[in-house]
Structure 1
């Protein structure tokens, strides 16, 4: 490509577009027959500047254009064989720009009606239009800086696959949050969170590549780190990123610790925000399910404008989502799913007190006294729960760029965002026998009908209102970057600051200290007016707890916290032009970060004084990190024809942490280009994940964890040494568990391998196929597994200090602090398909597809434990599982556009999975699930810039399959969707 200096071409501006300029006098002559020759093009829809660059690369035709003219414009796909004039006319259609040849050698792009702000006195005139050409020199162009490299390159030439979702594709998905969008990406499996998780969720959203925890996937914004979720979170909350301001999302499905440092073991999700936007956009979105719930509203205003030496962009958006309740879907309305082929997960904490006497009898209060408890005396808590959480989000985003000189550009961006989410939970359950401090009903208590002390009473306090969990967050981000070009060196220096504050309030809990006194000896609780205590009738039937008793024991609990990250970074890159096999590149730089987190419970939660919420001690921590990296891309060999070539990619990063030491991680890659059709690639990398501040410094936390106790099954209780021949109560599935941090944790480490191919057959214009094999071997996995400890204790009699059982053999307490004990080995393959058919009179048709196959997912919780292959299985996070790990997950999309019409159709498929039904060793199959999404949009001619879209997700109303072992709603809400058929419409007007 050819470029020029002056007001038309600004090198710093081209740097922002991904152009690296190295001057060299003179240019090659264009062959005389170039204009008439047809060239095969494969240029996808997107920014016009990028399309013109790809035109130059694919045609071999030199081209010059001004960033000021193109940076706010986009273009349609160009697929097939075209002459030069046909290709350029198609790319520039409806842009207000035109093209011309200069000296029959160089294509120049110019404004059809040249504005005095964009043109100087011309030195040449082409087609009666002035074109400013003060001097021509050759400019090398090789793409943009993509995720996974500090070196600018084209999308498909890296040694590892990168998926890119651009703004038009995001719009076609209909998704109103990034968590919702990424949920269907085939490489995303496991325990990603979203507002579809009520009990156990907190209104945040995360992404889990390869089924590894969210802490193993690094989230970036514009290539820079941001603070994690405010409640000492392990990853960035995707709901804190305003989707309306997103230009594209790049997903690197490979380890990238050599490029970015910690957390990138599974890969990287890089969210690129909009910048080159011109005009005013007003947009409104509304959607709801075919059952009339999950009403969703989004209103957006955006403004962008060019400045004499820069640009400004502002975006404001407000989003509201109404709930779905568990009771409103057939699969989720009852925790007893036996009629559907599942298990019975109802609670033994019932509205009528369930009392176990010292003589072993278990009785149920029935209003007239007590009767023996039966197998159906259980409580369906799902009649009261929220399935999809209602949420509100308000976001403001802005950026400002300014060209200080032709060589130096500055960029400032700011984000402010607020979220509010609320979930309804069933009324508080009380299990008196399973609290850290005893809750015994004294023998002389005025409500004791048995005359003996009773330690085991289970009661669902329906006299209290339903519990409500309210989560709020406030996120602020600031980033400043100064970048430029000096003596052919691209450089940038940046400072970024981000802070995420969050709070969680749980209402209608029980004050454990007051309840303990209310159940105690009569002499210690004589009445509110006498000694400030009100006796509570916990052992009675539903309604026996009166308003005065409710007011005495009712409590709320609040926790608040923040995560803060400050970063200073510098990057430098240059081209190595005169290597024997062609052009190479080098980049290096450094980064300094400071991380801080704090999580503060109120006094009641901190003193383990509540029932119905998690009690825990305060958590706080800080650390400093310094990192240095170097990266290169070198041509090792090139054939005389230039059609075959071998390239080497290498990177290394050194990281030193103030709290655990240092780590050095290399990455190596090879790319073999075999003609224009076939690219082979392979890679090797080591990675690491520093233990989070929460994992290191978390205070002791108390919860009722879901654990499958082997001793509740009669055959196992009789044979396993840890059960001591006693069968534990089979009606229980939640057990008191205390977790905590460990400041002696080591980093998790990994070794990754990849090998693949990209095939673009010449016989099929516009077709591109890819296949990439991957393997991740991870050691020293940080785990806090109460389930593992209970299993090992029951089966081998180990962990005796961590497991406490009562005299009846029931689990009373499990202590599980964080330790480096685990190992994972993940193997599989990614497949990709893109096929853009040549444009026809009836329109442009395109296919796109991707799939991930997991050959095996071996998990080992301890070196003494056997490896378990999780591929094709489901185990709920509430039971300390890694969620749904289907062996196949794929999506296939069809796009059609013609003039002002656009249409899309997407199929999403998740293969079936096996699970173990709770309370048994029975295995069952979770059905495969396939949904169809459709969308149609039209841009009106009478009102220029007005666009109307109609869409339907899950058009065939495919119900989510039953997951018998799922705690939330009898489905795997992290993989499947409960909502069913969902209609939406979008109306946007651009001025």
Structure 2
């Protein structure tokens, strides 16, 4: 029997706007409570929500064997998130593929301090999984309650309200195939006090997770020569460049050569390339999956003074180490000086050091392009520490409900040269004075010299961002309408963002790092007022209106409204919809971050310089021919200098969007929903994708900045106001609980998203280019050099069974195929195959105080799809598929 819902329980307002969906009561009767739904400040039944919200409980995360929030973000159909990379930014979420800067992440309804460098998104790795009660994803964008910058949607991580007792859990993931990518996770939680009986509760939880690096060589079967050759990317097509043994040129002969080419170069460091050169063996150095460590802490204290007054204080600290890897340090020019090997060096070809002689040499100095294999991988350690304290006071005064909150967040990110980095100038000095051998591994003197010029352990970047905010929301009933009480909510909030970003002087010394010293500091104040009105015209029709007025200290005022409706003519059928506008100012990094006059990094992929290596197929590296007198390996099929950084001319982007959907219950225990969504943006803030420059170099010639001698200084790739973007699709959900049987209870659930439109406009008034199921013109901005992946269809399908102490779940994560880049040659035109991963878990709670879960991830050992997109070094879709393969997953929990 259902309990009657009182007026008091039916209405409670909060600017925190924590969405608490229907809770299952383990007593004889099911209790239905009025709750706050993400995207609104007004409490209502979860089934009354007019906005589309996806909810995943903490228990579901455990049942599916997930070890990190990255597992969840990659599986969500409405998310186009990329697998975390070596970039160091950690895990972020990209709802609708619109960019991580357009997805608003909340913890208990309030913001965190963003990742410290870009300051436009939150690193989810710092959020403690063991504290999570549920994750709710508002799939409708531009929230008038949380912020008009939530163009893609809102992800709200909601922690447990209270906890009593003591529990510890341990989890292990062990891949079937040898190598890295093994994971260990341990967590412990303790709590005291019963909120209902004692009037208070306090709990704390610590969660630690570690994953080891997976080397590309550990999954060599994914990038064999046969596979790469079949897609037109045979490793031997490369020529020149940095390798060990080094390639060399002379002042009179610009064709690169190698003294060890005839003998096969030197395994495993290099392989034979084209034109008498050796090339770096990427398979020997690359990382298929980075290594990282996370330790998170969360504590919450709740004091209930009386029925109408509760105070909550919580504190979070998340720390993460990410080990990023690059190919070994090279003899990159330092201060304009190239690596010169004189004939006096014993390592000169044909000299006393044993390096084979090369025909035609007459003692002239050699310019060497050397990869220092003795140093191993160049590894950076990226450290992130994110802390947040939040105070929430809620209660009732007279006829008004109120919530008053304060939050302070501090995000620190530091990057260190961990191993394999040396002084560039001293490296060149060691070559010129004969101490170092660029054509082989070092003798004892060479090793000692490398150690003496090491800069390992040095801090190269220090970044801090902060978020300080206060908010107040009040609400009350106004009058009774035919459908119930009309409700009004009024709120205001004020927050201040600050950033500080410094690249230290050591970057001038470690020239291989491809960075330069810089410093930027900025801040922004935002004051907002918002209102929400709930109008239940009839028992069948409910309307909701909201409006938000934001004042930015650097961009002035913007007013953004939102309206939604819910119409339920029968018990079995409900219609819902919403419309909104959005406004997103440039991040502090994009507008006020560092600005350097020259190149700051290299392109992610290899390209031909369209001026100095002309004549090839546009966008197809290796098809051009170097101009006379130029070294082909420096201008053809090579990573080119690129300038990134802030842009003081950026202006805010704007959006508008709407949703329309229905929920149907055609049968008992069967619920089906479908929601159409559409989002349009103008003045889109993004970086131009790399391929755009090279597929149409004439159009973008002004972005190729050149030196006086015609050489390429850099490609200008700062964030810009581009044209527009249009995205739309249909979210589909189905849930069915089969009638109970003697062998247990069975459930099936499907959540999927079908894209109907994803178009990008590179400049205003230019044609829109489709990005659905193909590599188009969409860019991920500052977070990743990988292209956005927009699958036509993506779903999660689960089959669940339980009986007594036993439960089991089989889950499929699926996405459709993709049209490949195909910038190679007509004979290599192909499509990327669809990708399907099955995960199986079994849970048992029959032991006293203990729960055991075991399962197999990637049950069928599916391989990541092959791609010839040149941003993917190993030839498979690493940003959207896992290279790990089948793995055993075991979790044990014990309650004291």
TM-score (norm 2): 0.86
Matched, 1:212 2:124: no
Q: Helix, strand or coil: the match of 1:803?
A: strand
Match of 1:174 in 2: 65
| Greater mean alpha carbon deviation, residues 920-929 or residues 570-579 | 920-929
Q: State the alpha-carbon separation in 2 of the partners of residues 867 and 987 from structure 1.
A: 52
- After TM superposition, the structure 1 = structure 2 runs for residues 838-857 of structure 1, keeping only pairs within 5 Å, are 838-857=739-758
1:351 to 240, 244, 248: 244
Q: Helix, strand or coil: the match of 2:671?
A: strand
Matched, 1:89 2:89: no
How much has 1:268 moved relative to structure 2? 0.6
| Greater mean alpha carbon deviation, residues 785-794 or residues 369-378 | 369-378
1:442-476 per-residue CA deviation (whole Å, 9 max, x = no partner) reads: 98986888689989643212132321121222222
- Distance of aligned partners of 1:838 and 1:732 in 2 relative to their CA distance in 1, 3 Å threshold: same
How much has 1:494 moved relative to structure 2? 0.5
| Greater mean alpha carbon deviation, residues 726-735 or residues 446-455 | 446-455
Q: Is the 8 A contact 1:335 1:969 kept in 2?
A: no
Q: Helix, strand or coil: the match of 2:35?
A: coil
Match of 2:604 in 1: 706
1:485-522 per-residue CA deviation (whole Å, 9 max, x = no partner) reads: 22332210000111121211123224334456667xx8
Matched, 1:269 2:137: no
Q: Helix, strand or coil: the match of 2:701?
A: coil
Match of 1:870 in 2: 771
Q: Helix, strand or coil: the match of 1:329?
A: helix
Matched, 1:939 2:825: no
Match of 1:164 in 2: 55
Match of 2:78 in 1: 187
2:705 to 803, 810, 822: 803
1:469 to 345, 370, 380: 380
How much has 1:18 moved relative to structure 2? 13
- Distance of aligned partners of 1:375 and 1:339 in 2 relative to their CA distance in 1, 3 Å threshold: farther
Q: State the alpha-carbon separation in 2 of the partners of residues 386 and 619 from structure 1.
A: 32
Aligned length: 844
Q: Helix, strand or coil: the match of 2:558?
A: strand
Q: Is the 8 A contact 1:785 1:880 kept in 2?
A: no
1:147-200 per-residue CA deviation (whole Å, 9 max, x = no partner) reads: 11111223343333100001221111211111112211111115x342xx23xx
Q: State the alpha-carbon separation in 2 of the partners of residues 378 and 169 from structure 1.
A: 48
How much has 1:412 moved relative to structure 2? 0.7
How much has 1:547 moved relative to structure 2? 2.7
Q: Is the 8 A contact 1:735 1:812 kept in 2?
A: no
- Distance of aligned partners of 1:19 and 1:819 in 2 relative to their CA distance in 1, 3 Å threshold: closer
Structure number with larger C-alpha Rg: 1
Q: Helix, strand or coil: the match of 2:244?
A: coil
- Distance of aligned partners of 1:468 and 1:710 in 2 relative to their CA distance in 1, 3 Å threshold: closer
1:587-607 per-residue CA deviation (whole Å, 9 max, x = no partner) reads: 1201111111122222122x4
Match of 1:258 in 2: 144
How much has 1:369 moved relative to structure 2? 11
Q: State the alpha-carbon separation in 2 of the partners of residues 394 and 834 from structure 1.
A: 36
Q: State the alpha-carbon separation in 1 of the partners of residues 276 and 260 from structure 2.
A: 19
Matched, 1:602 2:504: yes
Match of 1:50 in 2: 23
Matched, 1:297 2:200: no
Q: State the alpha-carbon separation in 2 of the partners of residues 376 and 359 from structure 1.
A: 17
1:529-561 per-residue CA deviation (whole Å, 9 max, x = no partner) reads: xxxxx5666764565993355346543452122
Q: State the alpha-carbon separation in 1 of the partners of residues 261 and 715 from structure 2.
A: 38
Q: Helix, strand or coil: the match of 1:364?
A: coil
1:777-816 per-residue CA deviation (whole Å, 9 max, x = no partner) reads: 112122333737734872236316x422796x76442233
- Distance of aligned partners of 1:736 and 1:463 in 2 relative to their CA distance in 1, 3 Å threshold: same
Q: State the alpha-carbon separation in 2 of the partners of residues 830 and 10 from structure 1.
A: 34
Q: Is the 8 A contact 2:220 2:283 kept in 1?
A: no
Q: Is the 8 A contact 2:616 2:625 kept in 1?
A: no
Q: Helix, strand or coil: the match of 2:820?
A: strand
Q: Helix, strand or coil: the match of 1:327?
A: helix
Q: Helix, strand or coil: the match of 1:365?
A: coil
Q: Is the 8 A contact 2:843 2:854 kept in 1?
A: yes
How much has 1:425 moved relative to structure 2? 3.1
Q: Is the 8 A contact 1:609 1:615 kept in 2?
A: no
Q: State the alpha-carbon separation in 2 of the partners of residues 451 and 742 from structure 1.
A: 51
How much has 1:577 moved relative to structure 2? 4.3
2:530 to 626, 629, 634: 629
How much has 1:298 moved relative to structure 2? 1.7
Q: Is the 8 A contact 1:683 1:755 kept in 2?
A: yes
Q: State the alpha-carbon separation in 2 of the partners of residues 740 and 883 from structure 1.
A: 20
- Distance of aligned partners of 1:839 and 1:231 in 2 relative to their CA distance in 1, 3 Å threshold: same
1:943-972 per-residue CA deviation (whole Å, 9 max, x = no partner) reads: 433211111111111111122324354332
- After TM superposition, the structure 1 = structure 2 runs for residues 28-427 of structure 1, keeping only pairs within 5 Å, are 50-51=23-24, 75=26, 89=28, 91=30, 143-190=34-81, 192-194=82-84, 197-198=85-86, 201-202=87-88, 204-292=90-178, 293-307=180-194, 308-333=198-223, 337-339=227-229, 341=231, 343-344=233-234, 348-359=241-252, 361-366=254-259, 374=275, 377-427=278-328
Q: Is the 8 A contact 1:930 1:958 kept in 2?
A: yes
Q: Is the 8 A contact 1:443 1:451 kept in 2?
A: no
Q: Helix, strand or coil: the match of 2:61?
A: helix
TM-score (norm 1): 0.78
- Distance of aligned partners of 1:583 and 1:864 in 2 relative to their CA distance in 1, 3 Å threshold: closer
- Distance of aligned partners of 1:538 and 1:694 in 2 relative to their CA distance in 1, 3 Å threshold: farther
Q: Is the 8 A contact 1:717 1:726 kept in 2?
A: no
- After TM superposition, the structure 1 = structure 2 runs for residues 509-528 of structure 1, keeping only pairs within 5 Å, are 509-515=421-427
How much has 1:230 moved relative to structure 2? 2.8
Matched, 1:563 2:449: no
Q: Helix, strand or coil: the match of 1:564?
A: strand
Q: Helix, strand or coil: the match of 1:404?
A: strand
- Distance of aligned partners of 1:10 and 1:718 in 2 relative to their CA distance in 1, 3 Å threshold: closer
- Distance of aligned partners of 1:719 and 1:176 in 2 relative to their CA distance in 1, 3 Å threshold: closer
Match of 2:268 in 1: none
Match of 2:354 in 1: none
- Distance of aligned partners of 1:415 and 1:335 in 2 relative to their CA distance in 1, 3 Å threshold: farther
- Distance of aligned partners of 1:549 and 1:262 in 2 relative to their CA distance in 1, 3 Å threshold: farther
Q: Helix, strand or coil: the match of 2:104?
A: strand
How much has 1:415 moved relative to structure 2? 1.3
Q: Is the 8 A contact 1:954 1:980 kept in 2?
A: yes
How much has 1:223 moved relative to structure 2? 0.3
- After TM superposition, the structure 1 = structure 2 runs for residues 344-743 of structure 1, keeping only pairs within 5 Å, are 344=234, 348-359=241-252, 361-366=254-259, 374=275, 377-432=278-333, 437-439=336-338, 441=340, 457-506=368-417, 507-515=419-427, 540=439, 543=442, 546-547=446-447, 549-551=449-451, 554-556=454-456, 558-605=460-507, 607=508, 610-636=511-537, 638=538, 642=539, 645-700=540-595, 702-707=600-605, 708-709=607-608, 711=610, 714-716=615-617, 731-743=636-648
Q: Cα RMSD over matched residues?
A: 3.6
**Unmatched segments (≥5 aa) in structure 2:** 266-272, 350-360
1:744-782 per-residue CA deviation (whole Å, 9 max, x = no partner) reads: 321121111211111112xx1111111111111112122
| Greater mean alpha carbon deviation, residues 970-979 or residues 545-554 | 545-554
- Distance of aligned partners of 1:968 and 1:272 in 2 relative to their CA distance in 1, 3 Å threshold: farther
Q: State the alpha-carbon separation in 1 of the partners of residues 144 and 883 from structure 2.
A: 40
| Greater mean alpha carbon deviation, residues 404-413 or residues 862-871 | 862-871
Match of 2:878 in 1: 973
Q: Is the 8 A contact 1:11 1:407 kept in 2?
A: no
Q: Is the 8 A contact 1:952 1:981 kept in 2?
A: yes
Q: Helix, strand or coil: the match of 1:862?
A: coil
